[in-house]
Each structure stands twice: as C-alpha cells, then as structure tokens.
Structure 1
Amino acid sequence: MLSQSEFDALPKVRMGRRELLAGLAAGTVFPFAATGCTAENPALGRRQLMLVSDDQIAQLSDQTWQAARQRERVSNDPALRRQADRVGSRIANASGMSQHAWEFVVFDSDEVNAWVLPNGKVGLYRGLMETTRNDDQLATVIGHEAGHVAGRHAQERASQQMAAGMATGLAAVALDQADVQNAGAWAGVLGAGLTFGVLLPYSRRHELEADRLGVDYMARANYRPSESVIFWQSMMDQSQRGAPPAFLSTHPSDQERMNALNSHIRSRGYA
C-alpha cells in the first residue's frame, strides 16, 4: 500500500476525471498498476486497484459504525431484531467471510434502505424490512450487502477516489489522524453515505457484482434465489410509482439489472 508521500510521487495522469475513473474501473490506466497496487479478488475473478490497506479501512469502518449507532435510533422490536440476526447469520456463514465480526442492526426509521461497512457491520432500516415479504427477500438484501464486502468495493472505490485526485486531502487527514470527526466524510467513500447525507454511490459494475454474489450466498444458505427477482422488481415498481426508495437511489434499477440477475440464476441452475 502507498503512503501519502509515495502517492504524491506517482506520475500524473493527464485526462479528465470521468475518463480517469472509467479507465481505472476498466483496468486500462496503467501507471498505478505498475506500482504493484493491484490485487486479485477471487470472489470477482478480476484484479482491483488497492491504494488503502484493509487495516486502514477496518479502523475507519469501526468509527463510522459507532457514529451511525449514535446518530440513528436502534429498533427495539424483538421480531425484527430476531429476523435480522437469523437471516444475517445464515448469509454471513454462507459467504465464508468468518474473518469479520458480523453485526446486523435494525434502525427504527421508515426509510427503505440498508447499507454495509467493509468490517461486516450491516445497517437495516425498519422501512425496508417491512417491505420484504419473507426471509428470502431479506436474504436478498443482506446477501447483496455481503457481496459488497466480498467484492472489496469500498476499498476499490476509495482507491479510485484517491488515484483520481478527488480525495487526496481527505485521505491524508483520515489516514493520519483517523478521528471520529472524519467518519462522516469517509462514510461516503465507504458506501454508508445515506446515514450521514454524504453519498458517493458504488458504480454500476459494483452493484451488479454484489447482486451476483448475493444470489450465490442465498443459494448456499438455502434461501430461494428466485425471490431476489421478485424483490428487485418490487423495488423498481415502487420507483415507477413515485420517488425511488432510498435503497435504489444509488443502484441500477433498470432492465439491465433484471436481465443480469435472471441470466445468473439460469446459469447456476437455481430454482
């Protein structure tokens, strides 16, 4: 991993921000790859740019989680809490990511939303849980979030932001001081921005990868992958009837998602 001084010494890429991000995501921008800052992700079957370490991300994730629990009201509904733990533990076990201390907390809000931090902390809003019709559909949500963790999407996005020069100052402060005051800003990079009103969405590629991995975890946990199609379709229907649910605000909700999901389910032979 690069220190800030090493990062500053890297050769500058002369292209627009949009083109640089697209090039990084596609693996076509080579000055950073040449430094050895890419890593193979077996879950995705591709290499990723990694300029931040797992330890750095874990520390910032822990602080963000504590800040979220202080800012949000945690639900006392025993049925919702049992459901979150029941479904979440099965998905976590199926994912094989036992290195994380998984935690599933229900926030008492009508918001239809959920998010995950790279350390396995999952925030589920009452509004979203009440929207799901059964454990299988909740497994769709938690499986998708676990897919982001396995995909190391937060680390990759943070690295892309740093490499593009969009978050160099923020990274220097956060990585040097790692104080709670920076947790709100880092939450956007980590994918939990809705909690703090600072949202930097995952890319379409990340969302489709999380869908695919989530379906695999559902199947391993003996949930019905077919329910994932029903869930996402219901989210899309809500979006078409008015303002999109918060859970869809950063997600591809078009036919591409449904086509990719159905194709993966058929290719795996899931019922």
Structure 2
Amino acid sequence: MTRIFPRPLTAAFAATAALSLAACAYNETLGRNQFLIVDDAALTQQSDAAWAEALRTQPTSRDAAANERVRRVGGRIVQAAGLTNRSWDYAVFVSNSPNAFVLPSGKIGVTTGLLGLVRNDDQLAAVLGHEVGHVVARHAAERYSTTALSSVAISGVQSVAGDYAKAAGAIGGLGAQLGVLLPFSRNHELEADRLGVDYMQRAGYRPSESIALWRIMAGQRQGSTPEFASTHPSDASRIAALEQYIASQGWS
C-alpha cells in the first residue's frame, strides 16, 4: 500500500536525505564513509575556547615531572600519528577521577587520577594514542554532523505532529539517541582504540599494555551502564576487540 506523507514531512525527509548524500566522504584511515557537514577547522575556535575555559576553571597540576611525562609520551604518539604539522598543548588536571580528553585543535587533558592509575608509560601511551586517534579519525566533526542531522530530522517530524509535537519530539529524540548517536559513539571509541594501538606500536610502546590498561579500568569501576545505553563500549567488548586486533597484527 502506498503511503502519502504530508508535504512538510516529505520536504524534511528530502532535505535530510540530500544533506546526507552531499556530505558523505570516504576516510582511508578508517576504511569507511563519514558523514561530515563541518570541517575540523570550524571546530578549532570552539575547541580553543573550551580549552581556555578548562584551564581557567579547573585546577591544574604544577608537578613538573608529571607534566613532562605527558608531553614526552604524547609527543611520541603525535609523531607516530603524523600530526606534527600542528601545535599540541597538554595539561594535567587535578582530579581523582581517571580520565583524559582531546580537542580537535590539538589539546589533550589528563587527570592526576589517571596518572596514578597507569602502571607504566606504555599504558599512558595507550590512553594518549586513543585520544589522538579521535583527532585523526575526525570523530568530533562526525559526531557534530550526525547530531545536527538528527536535530533536522526530528524538527521536521515535530512541525507536522500537531498536538502530539512534544511526544513525537521526545520519542524521536530517544530513538535517535539509542538508535544512532550512542551506538555511533561506541563505534568511535573502538576505532580510536585500534588507531591508538597502531600509534603505540609505531612509537615503540607495547600494544598489549592497552589490554592491561582496560583490565585495570574495569577493576576500579564502581558500577556500570548497560552497553546499549552507553556512549562507550563495555570493558569486556573493548578488551575483546583489542585482543583480536593485536593478535591479528602479530604484536605483543
């Protein structure tokens, strides 16, 4: 049976489809197509502003040895990733939570909690390799683009939903989050893990220590979120993927 959609909804679907096709690009590093409607350069200003805000509002460590360690290991990873053509900045933030983050403009933050958790430079390289992997893979631009497209599609549904607009928005948002955005983010994490291991190996670090790192991380977690509703893979999924990839490369 043929279904006839209201014109505004049809137009919204058409615009979304056209935008999707126009913005697809093949990423050789990842071996797949990416949907990109924003260039990484467009995110640089926002990234720099976020970095400045973090430095202004969050306490940073003055431990010279800790800062030098992050810069040294990070420098080797950046060189292995072929990203020495941009300026990189590193900071150690004072926090008991073991964490790290990267910004597209070449900024990496590591917490004192993470430095206290890793047992050697190889494990620190696993973390920094993962973060640099996000930059090489253009995950920030892809995440931004996917979120923007989902917003466009949901807005189109809401415009013709009448009295059910709010309900349609809520259901549509949840569906987009669980069906597209979160799983896609998990895929990003696994891709960054794989790229990070590549950079570890090129930089002279032991890829197997990435597995040891995630086993440590799994052991210190207080609780867990079901994988289907999490932006990160479960520790078991992540470890299994790393073990399979490292074995396939014949690394140790």
Shorter-chain TM band: 0.7 to 0.9
Residue 251 of structure 1: how far off its partner (Å) = 2.4
Partner of 1:206: 188
Larger Rg: 2
Unaligned runs of 5+ in 1: 1-9, 15-28, 170-199
Distance 1:167 1:120 in 2: 32
Q: Distance in 2 between matches of 1:70 and 1:144?
A: 25
SS at match of 2:26: strand
User: What is the rounded CA distance, in whole Å, between the counterparts of 1:124 and 1:75 in structure 2?
Assistant: 10
TM-score (norm 1): 0.72
1:119 offset after TM fit, Å? Answer: 1.2
Instruction: State the shift of 1:166 in Å.
Output: 6.7
* Residue 237 (structure 2) pairs with residue 251 (structure 1): no
- Residues 9-34 of structure 1: CA deviation (Å, up to 9, x unaligned): x95239xxxxxxxxxxxxxx853332
Size of the aligned set, in residue pairs, is: 211
1:68 to 2:64 alignment:
no
Aligned partner letter, 2:197: V
Distance 1:11 1:140, change over 3 A: farther
- Offset of 1:153 from its aligned partner? 0.6
Q: Which amino acid aligns with 1:204?
A: R
SS in structure 2 of the partner of residue 34 of structure 1: helix
Q: Which amino acid aligns with 2:128?
A: I
- For 1:104, which of 73, 90, 102 is the aligned residue? 90
Q: 1:31 aligns with which of 18, 41, 46?
A: 18
Cα offset, 1:254, TM superposition: 3.3
- Identical columns (%): 46
CA RMSD in angstroms comes to 2.4
Misfit runs of 4+, over 2 Å = 29-35, 166-169
Amino acid at match of 2:216: S
Task: Measure, in 1, the Cα distance between the counterparts of 2:128 and 2:250.
Answer: 21
Aligned counterparts of 2:183 and 2:115: Cα–Cα separation in 1: 22
Residue 199 of structure 2, aligned match among 195, 212, 217: 217
Q: Could you tell me how far apart the structure 2 residues matched to 1:32 and 1:202 are?
A: 19
Q: Find 1:234's aligned residue among 206, 216, 224.
A: 216
Where in structure 2 are there 5+ consecutive unaligned residues? 1-9, 156-181, 225-229
Superposition deviation, residue 250 in structure 1: 4.5
Distance 1:135 1:168, change over 3 A: farther
Q: Describe how 1:107-126 pairs up with structure 2 within 5 A.
A: 107-126=93-112
